[in-house]
Amino acid sequence: MFGTDPFWLVLVKTVVVFIGLVVIVMLTIWFERRVVGRMQNRIGPNRAGPQGLLQTLVDGIKLALKEEIIPITAHKAVYWLAPFLSAFAAFAAFAVIPFGPTVSMFGIETQLQLADFPQSVLYLLAVASIGIYGIVLSGWASGSTYPLLGGLRSSAQMISYELAMSLSFVAVFMYAGSMSTSEIVIAQEQLWFCVLLLPSFVIYVTAMVGETNRAPFDLPEAESELVGGFHTEYSSMKFAMFFLGEYINMITVSSIATTLFLGGYLAPWPFSLIPGINEGWWTILFWFVKVVLFVFMYVWLRGTLPRYRYDQFMAFGWKVLIPFALAWVVLTAAVRAFAIEYFEDVNMLLLGVGVMLVGVFIYLVYLQIRDARRAREPEPELPSGPMNLENEGFPVPPLPGQTFEYTPRASTTVSGGTEQEEVTDG
């Protein structure tokens, strides 16, 4: 089925997907700014174009017209390579996402998907890993302290969360019996994997936010600690490439979540009862709605949650997500192995166990938050009673619990004395 298109059709599909992806990214950035704006009681960009729709395009043109500053300490070749890798990997990963089933395009039967082969999810993971190079190399090549720290953090973060992400796929492959994206979608015709494999879905959604460096896991950027993280020293279009890469990655991981857990282009439940709805061009709409849901989740998280502290974040990855994902892999395998040997269908059993495990997972997260709260340093004891102006020395406002007696002579003497001294010095 795949690999039968003539070359001109492959080119047409590639160009359409490419342009579509760039347009979706532009709209996503606009969408995020508008929605976050609403969440923070402001309007957001609404000047360029209708409702501010062209804001991203205008920003891009502005960036292209800005001066490009390359620090002297930078390693020139790697400094150039890093943004290229970031954007390149982001685009390349999108090639195996299915948007729909087989349709007729210019009289030729073809899939609404660029490419698919028996290992396409493995390809996705591999290309996503190339994106990490972009970040690590940019941090190293800038020859500056903040980007180096940001790049290191980001590499540790992304490889840690990639583990949890990859582990969450194991159960999906087990139940789909394939690593090909289009076959995984077809395997979900009866029941979506986000229901059957709920813990996998929860792990994946958590890990994908960490993998794309988005709030509350946006530690590589951490404006308050690292200025801008790995892209501190990047300006103009090179910065734009990192920005583009980040948003394409957001779309890509949302599409992976859609494909692997939400039934890809398949219609959701009440609509799926209509016969023949999962055929034809319609299906792109279902895919799009599901991806927009994930993008909205991203924006919602960003508008709601504060950033994690780095040690808490790594502990969450290594001590909660990974053991939980491993346990879930073993459990699904056990249930399926015994089902094959002794029963016909134990999907319901797995479903029940899955719901219970998600409960345990949420409880673990709660425990971690509680422990972090308890481990916080105790509040320092506040002084009470009247304020001793002579011993305190500097005229500070009274702390809560302290009383303040207004003594006009004391303050006049202090300030008057200083002024007189200055005058004598001068």
Residues 359-378 that bind other proteins (CB under 8 A): none
Which one of residues 144, 272, 347, 368 is an interface residue with other proteins (CB under 8 A)? Answer: 144
247 binds other proteins (CB under 8 A): no
> Which two structure tokens, joined as six digits, stand for 71?
């620090």
- Binding region for other proteins (CB under 8 A) out of 214-222, 231-239, 276-284, 408-416: 231-239
Contact range with other proteins by CB under 8 A, out of 13-21, 189-197, 203-211, 269-277: 13-21
Counting contacts by CB under 8 A, is residue 265 touching other proteins? Answer: no
Shortest Å distance, C-beta 125 to other proteins: 9
329 binds other proteins (CB under 8 A): yes
Site for other proteins in 16-35 (CB under 8 A): 17-18
Residues 331-360, interacting with other proteins (CB under 8 A):
333-334, 336-338, 340-341
Q: Cis link prior to 400 (omega < 30° from 0)?
A: no
Name residue 41's amino acid.
N
Among 53, 54, 159, 186, binds other proteins (CB under 8 A): 159
Q: What is the DSSP string of 191-204?
A: S-HHHHTHHHHHHH
Side chain identity, residue 307: R
| Joined tokens for residue 252 | 């890509």
DSSP 8-state symbol, 102: E
Distances 196 to 108, 135, 146, 201 between C-alpha atoms, Å? 36, 35, 44, 9
Q: Tokens 């949420």, residue? A: 362
Q: Is 327 within 8 Å of 360 (Cβ atoms)? A: no
**155 binds other proteins per the rule CB under 8 A:** yes
**Residues between 86 and 125 that touch other proteins (CB under 8 A):** 86-88, 90-92, 94-96, 114-117, 122-123
Min dist. Cβ of residue 386 to other proteins (A): 41
Q: 337 or 396: whose CB is closer to other proteins? A: 337
Helix (H) or strand (E) holding 398: none
Q: Which helix (H) or strand (E) holds 111?
A: strand 108-112
Beta carbon nearer to other proteins, 63 or 358: 63
Does 298 bind other proteins (CB under 8 A)? Our answer is: no
CB burial of 163-190 (b: ≥16 within 10 Å; e: otherwise) equals bbbbbbbbbbebbbebbbbbebbbbbee
137 makes contact with other proteins (CB under 8 A): no
Binding-site member from 2, 282, 288, 296 for other proteins (CB under 8 A) = 2
From 30, 31, 99, 169, residue interacting with other proteins (rule: CB under 8 A): 169
- Binding segment for other proteins among 49-57, 141-149, 187-195, 284-292 (CB under 8 A)? 141-149
Q: Contact with other proteins (CB under 8 A): which of 10, 195, 346, 365?
A: 10
Contact with other proteins (CB under 8 A): which of 238, 247, 290, 308?
238
In this structure, the strands spanning 100-105 and 108-112 are antiparallel
Question: Is 319 an interacting residue with respect to other proteins (CB under 8 A)?
Answer: yes
Q: What minimum distance in Å lies between the beta carbon of 372 and other proteins?
A: 13
The residue within the footprint of other proteins, chosen from 55, 160, 182, 259 (CB under 8 A), is: 160
Instruction: Candidates 78, 80, 302, 307: give the one binding other proteins (CB under 8 A).
Output: 80
Q: How far is the CB of 414 from other proteins (least distance, A)?
A: 33
* Candidates 39-47, 143-151, 389-397, 413-421; binding stretch for other proteins (CB under 8 A): 143-151
Q: Total number of residues binding other proteins (CB under 8 A)? A: 92
* 387 is a site residue for other proteins (CB under 8 A): no
Torsion of CA 24, 153, 140, 246, to 10 degrees: 0
Instruction: Please pick, from the candidates 36, 53, 58, 170, the single residue that binds other proteins as defined by CB under 8 A.
Output: 170
Neighbours of 47 (CB within 10 A): 10
Does residue 211 contact residue 253 with C-beta atoms inside 8 Å? Answer: yes
- Which DSSP state fits 214? -
Q: Which 3 state secondary structure label does DSSP give 127?
A: helix
**Closest C-alpha among 166, 118, 109, 125 to residue 322:** 166
Q: Which two tokens stand for residue 78?
A: 């790697």
Taking the complex as a whole, the smallest distance from the CB of residue 237 to other proteins amounts, in Å, to 4
Q: Which of the residues 57 through 76 are near other proteins (CB under 8 A)?
A: 63-73
Token readout for 274 is 């209509």
Q: How many whole angstroms separate alpha carbon 285 and alpha carbon 46?
A: 26
From the CB of 63, what's the least distance to other proteins, in Å? 8
Interacting residue with other proteins among 213, 232, 249, 255 (CB under 8 A)? 232
H-run or E-run covering 104: strand 100-105
**210, amino acid identity:** G
**SS3 at position 151:** helix
